[in-house]
A = this chain, B = another copy of it.
Amino acid sequence: MQTLNVNLGERSYPIYIGAGLLGKQDLLGKHVKGSQVLIVTNETVAPLYLVKTQKMLTDFQVETLILPDGEEYKNLATLNKIYSKLLEIKFNRNCTLAALGGGVIGDITGFGAASYQRGVNFMQIPTTLLAQVDSSVGGKTGVNHELGKNMIGAFHQPQCVLIDTNTLATLDERQFAAGLAEIIKYGLINDADFFSYLATNMDLLLAKDRAVIASAVQTSCHNKAQVVALDEKESGIRALLNLGHTFAHAIESGMGYGKWLHGEAVASGMLMAADLSVKMGWLKENEFTQIKDLITRANLPVRGPGMEVEKYLKIMALDKKSANGIIRLILLKAIGQATVVSEYSNNLLRETLKEFG
């Protein structure tokens, strides 16, 4: 087992990474403050890992809530199911929530924890690759609004993150590929060595080689933890983690939540960012090709769904990074060198959206 630490003063917490951690005693219990634990999971994950998780918490009153599976349920109505459950079982403000599942479960459970009785503790137990390398770390929680993705939420750090890489064995290929998008993202943002490592080892990664998976998950979590420690509430550098996401959120919201997986939308969004970066004269053509090749090898889309340019622009204007009507984008100066940009050519952006959107 590898333990990383997210350094945030009194809100610091460990990330446990290892194969076979689910079911191990003494890992979760020490992070439970009170006597009550509600495990929130979904109907896909529950049959696979709920019992193992319950077994880690035998010292406590453990209740469970099983939600439907899918991004289309990441909304206020589903959130209210968490509140209702907590109140029905009379959980108090010393209770702890445990999010067992992918990014949707983690985000919605985290926001439930942030807002139930004005804030209770929670733990992240991510079971998808995407949640393990990205959404479970850093305290971003929330739900979608029909007018925009992740528009309602809170920064609320968990007490711990427990990553059992064995759960990836049950993950379908489409979900696994979606997670690879966020892994590739860390290489593009500020870690050219990691990008090279991924290019060299993509076949082993796809074959779910244990050593390569462990390394990829650890490096991703390490990168994320570093950025979060520097800028917990995204007033600066943390925005870089949004590479490809402004485009991706437009796809997810515009096509209807759940049609495109978040990681798929991020993959094509990163290609759009890369293409615009080439058009701006920053990224070299051969770097663009390397990115496109790696994303293709990861079984991810290199183009969006063909959504209209105007629709992209309309939704992107609502992005949380926007200010004074200007869409801020994360673009690439090179592989491993992302930057936040508010000044770019609107015509070039339109061209990118037309070609890759």
Contacts and interface: CB of A to CB of B under 8 A. Distances in A.
B118 A87 contact: no
B87 A76 contact: no
A145 B155 CA distance: 22
A317 B90 CA distance: 8
Interface stretch (A173-181, A203-211, A299-307, A318-326): A318-326
A153 B111 CA distance: 10
A88 interface: yes
B148 A87 contact: yes
8 contacts: A90-B318, A92-B322, A92-B324, A94-B323, A111-B115, A115-B142, A118-B155, A154-B154
A83 B118 contact: no
Contact of A147 (B35, B87, B114, B322): B87
A90 B151 CA distance: 11
Contact of A116 (B93, B115, B118, B152): B152
A145 B94 contact: no
Interface string A317-348: 11010111100000000000000000000000
B87 A153 contact: no
A80 interface: yes
Query: Shortest 5 CB-CB distances between A and B: which pairs?
Result: A87-B147, A118-B153, A117-B320, A92-B322, A115-B152
A245 to B, nearest CB: 14
